[in-house]
């Protein structure tokens, strides 16, 4: 069990930079997820921690000690690969025992025929067998120990890969998109199992995924990456409620956040499509802004409706997706506004849209996220009534 | 409704039948030239061989007698034939470890190189494309007791001269070395293909699990996963080695004193120099039997090539 | 200050002193083995070319040197090209290989297509025969074919050299595998457009099977350019000799004497294929590796 510290990690493949200036500390026993779109560098980063790739700059410390000069197996890490990387020619037992036989037996004791001559081997193998069985019992794969990987289902293979990692009793568990090869239902089930495993073992987990749902539901903290840098590091709640960057806001949360262009008006307020919103921004007038509003914060109402304290935009319902418990609405904004907004509501939108499918979209100013032209969050912002009060009013419709 | 139904039903059937007919005719037509050639170049000759092997026919002979299985009995008791069989198997036994082992070694060493790989690949593959007869002549010169460089080096080291091709004990190993020389590049390519089929993350997982050295990696992952490829290379090499002829014909002509007379060369002599057609036919059938054995092994191995 | 300290923390990846040494040693050992092997492989080639440039006096001196002191290339090559019709051999090789290849493709392609895509009576039996033919090396039917050709008076002709190879069961097998993967829908669309099966084969399927045909061509040309056994049996007229046979004749006539022109002849005979290999490496390796899959 150990903490992991990354200091100024950089990596380039030839002239192409893939990672730059990564500073990250994972506390002992924490579940940290590296999340981001494909190509953001998260897999490269985890491989650097494992020692499979050398970093171009910076240093890695595990448990307080620098591991830069250590080979992967000397770092006391275990890794679960996306493809599981189970040795296809060995049975499950041998797969799980391999980490132990590699470290405990020397070369002669491992050679195919010569090993029969070693007396120490029998004792060592008995120990190893005990350990493997213990782990297999924990993961409920004891009945599979005699099978070959090709005879296992996806979920079973995943457990064997986990078992092989657990058997080493590592200081850090590294997981590179372990659930992406499973079907949706199994993925949901394994999410819970992994989270419970983490709680049981109490070991540091570093988890890589491109699925924001996994990141949000399983982690203690999340590091969202983009183009080789960490955009935001924090608890899942923080990334959702206070995204540091418009990219973070767009990645976390489904349906994706609505993003609208705005600017700072003459009175220091946000001007959106010519409408002055009661949000004060301490920036010079005319500064370009990006406004983010979550679909859950937008309430549709019959066209023309207004409510005190809420802003309203009119539009035409283009399409509604029926999810059973809720509807997702795609509404084309009416002039002078442009663009499409997504909103989530319970109940049938047709009821209030009428024949002309015209709707009003209401939202509270405090629910808006304000970003500058580069996408960074602007925090010195004052909005009118509290978000809670605004939403209550909207729901009453 | 019923009228329309009965009108609709029969129309597709004749068209379908006509299509089938066209297919059958086209198929037969396309296959006929190949079939005729197959008959002429494979089946009829096989039947002829079978017939000939039961006779004592000699080319240009007036009368022939039916001998039954006498030719085969004679072959199995004939010291010349048995020697050629022994020579051939000895040759194959020497070529297999050399060609397969070296091919594997070179492939494993080359697999990880990036910049130098192409150069080495080209170099090692050159003998496969070269005309063996021409190169055999050159080898003959290289191995020459007085003029060749190899003996020159041996002399310089104080070891004296070695008559590679005229000493009965050395001639087969020498021929085997040349056979290996010709096959290494080919096997190397096959092994390289097999190696690149092994997923890279297996090696990475192994490294995390503690596989430190190249030997560990080789024993734990490379060798087991190359199993099917290795079997395949062994069988292919065996068949090719079994058919050795060119080097013998050019360099030794079966000498010295029959020490390098291999099966195909013996058949060549019997059939085209001595014109003992009946006997040569029997020998050819024995040759075919062995090749079929190897080929069956090969098909068997190919089936098992389905990876784990 | 903090950044300066961080900069010092930058290290060279994974390699400490001892493991860098280990890597160097391994690299050295690997390349030593590879180079030794390469020397073994290249020895005859180098020796061949070098000897072909030397004069007889140099060749026959017992202490050898690698580079010729007197260039005798013109005489050696001249002798090789005139005393024995080397260029003629090359021409024969070209004629024979081209002839064989053309007929092989013409016969094998329709048959492979029929086996892959058409249903006709006897299809399975034919395929079984093809598989059987794969196991029979050419040295087996050689004897009866020789007798047949002899009785027809057809020995010592181009036809005799080419005839046993007109049918390549390997080509049929290979093309059938390839054609099987060809989408049926395209063929059905072509049929609907009114194309005859014959046109479909040659105008639609073949052009898109170019890689397989090219790879097979390489295999075929190399195999038949280098073939000794069959030409040796049916040819004793030097004007018709293929390169290997020609080399054999030349070696016979020059035994023990003119190694200079012998190696010159060897160089001329080996050069075409080696040059072709250097130019079209990928196709070569593909094509020849298929003999393995055979």
Task: Quote the pLDDT of residue A157.
Answer: 92
| Nearest-angstrom CA–CA distance, A276 and A292 | 16
Segment A278-282 shows an average pLDDT of 85
Find which of B41, B177, B289 to mutate to test the C interface (most C CBs within 10 Å of its CB). Answer: B41
Closest CA–CA distance from residue C8 to any residue of chain A (Å): 9
Segment A191-217 shows an average pLDDT of 92
Which residue among A216, A246, A276 closes a domain? A246
* DSSP track, C66-106: SS-SS--HHHHHHHHHHHS-HHHHHHHHHHHHHHHHHHHHH
Segment A32-54 shows an average pLDDT of 92
Give the other-Cβ count within 10 Å of C128's Cβ: 10
- Structural domain count of chain C: 1
> Could you read off the pLDDT of B11-56 as tens digits, one per residue?
466 677 887 888 888 888 888 999 999 999 999 999 998 888 888 8
Task: Quote the pLDDT of residue B113.
Answer: 83
Residues of A numbered 165-194 whose beta carbons fall under 8 angstroms of chain C's beta carbons: which are they? Answer: none
Task: Quote the pLDDT of residue A167.
Answer: 92
| Nearest-angstrom CA–CA distance, B126 and A199 | 61
Segment A356-376 shows an average pLDDT of 86
Q: Which of A211-225, C60-74, C176-190 has the highest mean pLDDT?
A: A211-225
Peptide bond into A255 cis (omega under 30): yes
Q: Do A226 and A179 belong together in one domain?
A: yes
User: Distance of CA A15 to CAs A11, A19, A44, A56, B235, Å?
Assistant: 10, 12, 16, 11, 46
Q: Do A267 and A121 belong together in one domain?
A: no
Helix %, strand %, coil % of chain A (to 5): 30, 35, 35
Cβ separation of A73 and B201 shorter than 8 Å? no
Average pLDDT score, chain A: 86
Answer whether residue C131 is part of any domain: yes
Range of the domain at C198: 84-253
Write out the two tokens for B37.
């050639």
Find which of B203, B206, B210 to mutate to test the A interface (most A CBs within 10 Å of its CB). Answer: B210
Rounded CA Rg of chain C:
27
Task: Quote the pLDDT of residue C187.
Answer: 87
Answer whether residue C15 is part of any domain: no
Residues of chain C with pLDDT > 70, as a percent, come to 86
Cβ separation of C11 and A59 shorter than 8 Å? yes
- Structural domain count of chain A: 2
| Nearest-angstrom CA–CA distance, B192 and B183 | 14
User: Angle formed by the axes of helices C259-279 and C73-83, to 10°?
Assistant: 90
Q: Is A103 on the interface with B (CB under 8 A)?
A: yes
Segment B158-179 shows an average pLDDT of 87
Task: Quote the pLDDT of residue C66.
Answer: 66
DSSP state of B275: -
**What is this model's ipTM?**
0.80
CB < 8 Å to B308, chain A: 88-89, 148-150
User: Distance of CA C75 to CAs C52, C55, C82, C111, C272, Å?
Assistant: 9, 9, 10, 51, 21
Q: Is A113 on the interface with B (CB under 8 A)?
A: no
Task: Quote the pLDDT of residue A26.
Answer: 93
Residues of chain B with pLDDT > 70, as a percent, come to 93
Q: Are C105 and B25 in contact (CB under 8 A)?
A: no
Task: Quote the pLDDT of residue B11.
Answer: 46
| Nearest-angstrom CA–CA distance, C294 and C279 | 25
User: Which alpha helices (H) appear in chain B, and where do they start and end?
Assistant: 2-8, 12-38, 44-53, 70-77, 79-111, 117-129, 132-142, 149-156, 168-196, 200-209, 214-217, 223-225, 227-242, 246-247, 263-268, 277-303
C→A contacts (Cβ < 8 Å), by residue, are 6-7, 9-16, 19
Segment B242-253 shows an average pLDDT of 89
Cβ separation of C9 and A70 shorter than 8 Å? no
Window from A290-294, C7-11, C115-119 with minimum mean pLDDT: C7-11
Cβ separation of C47 and B141 shorter than 8 Å? yes
The dihedral through the CA atoms of C87, C91, C94, C100 has a sign that is negative
Rounded CA Rg of chain B:
27
Where residue A311 sits, what CATH number does that domain have?
2.40.50.140
CB < 8 Å to A66, chain C: 9, 11
**Does C62 score more than 60 pLDDT?**
no
Range of the domain at A170: 4-246
Q: Do A187 and A334 belong together in one domain?
A: no
Cβ separation of A54 and C19 shorter than 8 Å? no
Which residue among A224, A246, A268 closes a domain? A246
Where residue A169 sits, what CATH number does that domain have?
3.40.50.300
Segment C93-114 shows an average pLDDT of 93
User: Distance of CA A21 to CAs A52, A168, A298, Å?
Assistant: 19, 31, 37
Task: Quote the pLDDT of residue C7.
Answer: 36
Q: Do A165 and A275 belong together in one domain?
A: no
Q: Do A280 and A235 belong together in one domain?
A: no
- Which residue in A311, A348, A309, A351 sits closest to A333, CA to CA? A311
**Does A277 score more than 80 pLDDT?**
yes
**Does C104 score more than 80 pLDDT?**
yes
Q: Do A43 and A123 belong together in one domain?
A: yes
CB < 8 Å to C6, chain A: 7-8, 58
Closest CA–CA distance from residue B6 to any residue of chain C (Å): 26
CB < 8 Å to C12, chain A: 54
CB < 8 Å to B28, chain C: 114, 120-122
Segment B54-59 shows an average pLDDT of 81
Task: Quote the pLDDT of residue B305.
Answer: 52
Answer whether residue C214 is part of any domain: yes
Which residue among A187, A216, A246 closes a domain? A246
| Nearest-angstrom CA–CA distance, B117 and B47 | 49
The residues near A4 (Cβ < 8 Å, ≥ 6 apart) are A24, A25, A26, A49, A60, A61, A62, A172, A204, A206
Q: Is C107 on the interface with B (CB under 8 A)?
A: yes
Q: Do A237 and A134 belong together in one domain?
A: yes
Least CB-CB distance to A71: which of C6, C10, C14? C14
Cβ separation of A87 and B206 shorter than 8 Å? yes
Task: Quote the pLDDT of residue B24.
Answer: 86
Q: Do A145 and A47 belong together in one domain?
A: yes
* DSSP track, B18-66: HHHHHHHHHHHHHHHHHHHHHIIIIIHHHHHHHHHHTB---TT-S---B
pLDDT band for B100, please (50, 70, 90 cuts). very high
Window from B69-73, B178-182, C169-173 with minimum mean pLDDT: B69-73
Q: Do A358 and A241 belong together in one domain?
A: no
Task: Quote the pLDDT of residue A395.
Answer: 40
Q: Strand order in A77-80's β-sheet?
A: A77-80, A172-176, A204-209, A31-35, A221-226, A229-234
Q: Do A228 and A262 belong together in one domain?
A: no
Average pLDDT score, chain C: 81
Please tell me which chains touch A, using 3 or more CB pairs under 8 Å as the contact test. Answer: B, C
Find which of C3, C4, C6 to mutate to test the A interface (most A CBs within 10 Å of its CB). Answer: C6
**Does A284 score more than 60 pLDDT?**
yes
Q: Are A146 and A155 in contact (CB under 8 A)?
A: no
Q: Which residue of B has its CA nearest to A82?
A: B201
Q: Are B235 and A124 in contact (CB under 8 A)?
A: no
The strand pair at A31-35 and A221-226 is best described as parallel
Answer whether residue C199 is part of any domain: yes
Task: Quote the pLDDT of residue A250.
Answer: 92
Greater confidence (A50 vs B306) lies with A50
User: Distance of CA B40 to CAs A145, A249, C128, C272, Å?
Assistant: 58, 77, 17, 33
Least CB-CB distance to B120: which of C34, C191, C262? C34
Answer whether residue C156 is part of any domain: yes
**Does A33 score more than 90 pLDDT?**
yes
Strand partners, A363: A298, A311
Answer whether residue C57 is part of any domain: no
pLDDT band for A50, please (50, 70, 90 cuts). very high
Three-state secondary-structure class, residue A319: strand
Q: Do A387 and A333 belong together in one domain?
A: yes
Task: Quote the pLDDT of residue B236.
Answer: 84
Peptide bond into B256 cis (omega under 30): yes
pLDDT band for A251, please (50, 70, 90 cuts). very high
| Nearest-angstrom CA–CA distance, A62 and A49 | 9
Segment A314-334 shows an average pLDDT of 88
Three-state secondary-structure class, residue A4: strand
Closest CA–CA distance from residue B106 to any residue of chain C (Å): 7
Greater confidence (B151 vs B124) lies with B124
**Does C2 score more than 50 pLDDT?**
no
> Could you read off the pLDDT of B183-200 as tens digits, one per residue?
999 899 889 888 988 998
Q: Which of A338-347, B7-16, B285-294, B299-308 has the highest mean pLDDT?
A: B285-294
Give the other-Cβ count within 10 Å of B139's Cβ: 27
DSSP state of C203: I
Cβ separation of C167 and B59 shorter than 8 Å? no
Answer whether residue C151 is part of any domain: yes
pLDDT band for A388, please (50, 70, 90 cuts). very low
Q: Are A298 and A343 in contact (CB under 8 A)?
A: yes
Q: Is A124 on the interface with B (CB under 8 A)?
A: no
Q: Do A239 and A280 belong together in one domain?
A: no
Where residue C222 sits, what CATH number does that domain have?
1.10.3720.10
Answer whether residue C239 is part of any domain: yes
pLDDT band for A387, please (50, 70, 90 cuts). very low
CB < 8 Å to B304, chain A: none
């Amino acid at each position: 069990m150990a903490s992991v510290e990354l200091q100024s990690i950089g990596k380039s493949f030839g002239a192409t930079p893939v990672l730059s200036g990564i500073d990250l500390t994972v506390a002992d026993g924490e579940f940290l997820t590296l999340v981001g779109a494909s190509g953001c560098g998260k897999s490269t980063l985890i491989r650097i921690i494992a020692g499979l790739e050398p970093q171009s700059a910076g240093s890695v410390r595990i448990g307080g000690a620098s591991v830069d000069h250590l080979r992967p197996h000397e770092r006391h890490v275990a890794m679960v690969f996306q493809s599981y990387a189970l040795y296809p020619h060995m049975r499950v037992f041998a797969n799980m025992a391999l980490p132990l036989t590699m470290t405990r037996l020397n070369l002669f004791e491992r050679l195919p025929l010569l090993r029969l001559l070693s007396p120490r081997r029998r004792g060592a193998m008995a120990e190893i067998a005990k350990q493997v069985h213990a782990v297999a019992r924990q993961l409920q794969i004891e009945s599979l120990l005699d099978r070959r990987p090709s005879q296992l289902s996806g979920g079973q293979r995943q457990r064997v890969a986990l078992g092989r990692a657990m058997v080493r009793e590592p200081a850090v568990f590294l997981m590179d998109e372990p659930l992406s090869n499973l079907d949706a239902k199994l993925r949901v089930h394994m999410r819970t199992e992994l989270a419970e495993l983490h709680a049981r073992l109490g070991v540091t987990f570093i988890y890589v995924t491109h699925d924001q749902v996994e990141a949000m539901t399983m982690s203690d903290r999340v590091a969202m990456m983009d183009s080789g840098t960490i955009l935001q590091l924090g608890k899942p709640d923080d990334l959702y409620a206070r995204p540091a960057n418009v990219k973070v806001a767009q990645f976390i949360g489904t349906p994706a956040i609505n993003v609208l262009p705005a600017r700072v008006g003459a009175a220091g307020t946000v001007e959106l499509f010519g409408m002055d919103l009661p949000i004060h921004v301490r920036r010079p007038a005319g500064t370009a802004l990006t406004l983010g509003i979550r679909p859950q914060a937008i309430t549709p109402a019959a066209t023309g409706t207004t409510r005190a304290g809420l802003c309203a935009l009119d539009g035409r319902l283009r399409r509604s997706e029926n999810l059973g418990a809720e509807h997702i609405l795609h509404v084309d904004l009416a002039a002078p506004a442009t663009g499409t907004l997504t909103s989530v509501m319970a109940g049938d939108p047709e009821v209030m849209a009428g024949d002309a499918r015209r709707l009003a979209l209401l939202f509270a100013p405090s629910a808006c996220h304000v970003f500058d032209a580069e996408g960074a969050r602007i925090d010195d912002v004052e909005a009118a009534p509290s978000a809670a009060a605004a939403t209550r009013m909207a729901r009453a419709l | 409704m019923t009228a329309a139904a009965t009108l609709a039903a029969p129309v597709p059937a004749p068209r379908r039948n006509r299509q089938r007919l066209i297919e059958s005719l086209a198929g037969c037509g396309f296959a006929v030239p190949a079939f005729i050639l197959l008959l002429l170049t494979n089946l009829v000759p096989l039947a002829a061989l079978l017939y000939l092997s039961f006779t004592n026919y000699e080319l240009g002979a007036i009368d022939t007698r039916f001998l039954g299985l006498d030719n085969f009995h004679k072959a199995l008791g004939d010291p010349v034939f048995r020697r050629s069989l022994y020579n051939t198997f000895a040759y194959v036994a020497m070529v297999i470890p050399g060609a397969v082992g070296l091919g594997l070694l070179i492939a494993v060493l080359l697999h990880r190189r990036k910049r130098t790989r192409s150069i080495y690949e080209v170099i090692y593959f050159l003998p496969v494309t070269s005309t063996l007869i021409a190169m055999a002549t050159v080898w003959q010169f290289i191995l020459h007791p007085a003029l060749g460089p190899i003996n020159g080096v041996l002399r310089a080291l104080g070891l004296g001269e070695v008559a590679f091709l005229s000493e009965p004990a050395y001639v087969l190993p020498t021929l085997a070395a040349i056979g290996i020389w010709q096959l290494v590049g080919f096997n190397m390519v096959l092994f390289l293909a097999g190696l690149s089929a092994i997923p890279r993350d297996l090696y990475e997982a192994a490294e995390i699990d503690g596989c430190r050295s190249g030997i560990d990696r080789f024993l734990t992952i490379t060798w087991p996963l190359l199993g099917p490829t290795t079997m395949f290379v062994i069988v292919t090499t065996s068949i090719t080695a079994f058919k050795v002829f060119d080097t013998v014909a050019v360099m030794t002509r079966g000498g010295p004193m029959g020490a390098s007379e291999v099966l195909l060369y013996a058949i060549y002599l019997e059939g085209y120099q001595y014109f003992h057609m009946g006997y040569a036919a029997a020998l050819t059938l024995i040759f075919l039997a062995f090749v079929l054995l190897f080929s069956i092994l090969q098909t068997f191995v190919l089936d098992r090539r389905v990876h784990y | 200050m903090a950044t300066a300290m961080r900069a010092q923390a930058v290290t060279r990846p994974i390699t400490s002193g001892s493991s860098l040494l280990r890597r160097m040693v391994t690299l050295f050992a690997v390349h030593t083995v590879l180079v030794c092997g390469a020397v073994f492989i290249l020895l005859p080639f180098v020796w061949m070319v070098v000897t072909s440039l030397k004069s007889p006096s140099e060749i026959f001196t017992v202490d050898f040197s690698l580079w010729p002191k007197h260039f005798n290339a013109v005489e050696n090559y001249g002798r090789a090209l005139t005393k024995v019709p080397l260029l003629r051999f090359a021409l024969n090789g070209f004629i024979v290989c081209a002839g064989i290849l053309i007929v092989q493709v013409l016969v094998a392609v329709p048959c492979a297509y029929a086996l892959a895509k058409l249903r006709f009576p006897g299809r399975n039996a034919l395929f079984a025969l093809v598989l059987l033919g794969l196991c029979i090396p050419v040295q087996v039917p050689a004897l009866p074919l020789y007798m047949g050709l002899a009785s027809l008076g057809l020995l010592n002709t181009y036809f005799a050299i080419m005839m046993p190879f007109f049918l390549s069961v390997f080509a049929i097998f290979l093309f059938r595998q390839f054609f099987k993967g060809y989408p049926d829908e395209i063929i059905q669309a072509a049929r609907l457009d009114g194309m005859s099966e014959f046109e479909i084969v040659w105008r639609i399927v073949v052009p898109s099977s170019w890689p397989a045909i090219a790879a097979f061509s390489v295999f075929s040309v190399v195999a038949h350019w280098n073939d000794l056994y069959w030409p040796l049996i049916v040819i004793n007229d030097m004007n018709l000799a293929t390169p290997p046979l020609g080399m054999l004749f030349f070696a016979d006539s020059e035994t023990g004497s003119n190694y200079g022109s012998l190696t010159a002849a060897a160089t001329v005979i080996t050069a075409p294929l080696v040059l072709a290999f250097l130019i079209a490496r990928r196709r070569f390796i593909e094509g020849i590796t298929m003999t393995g899959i055979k």
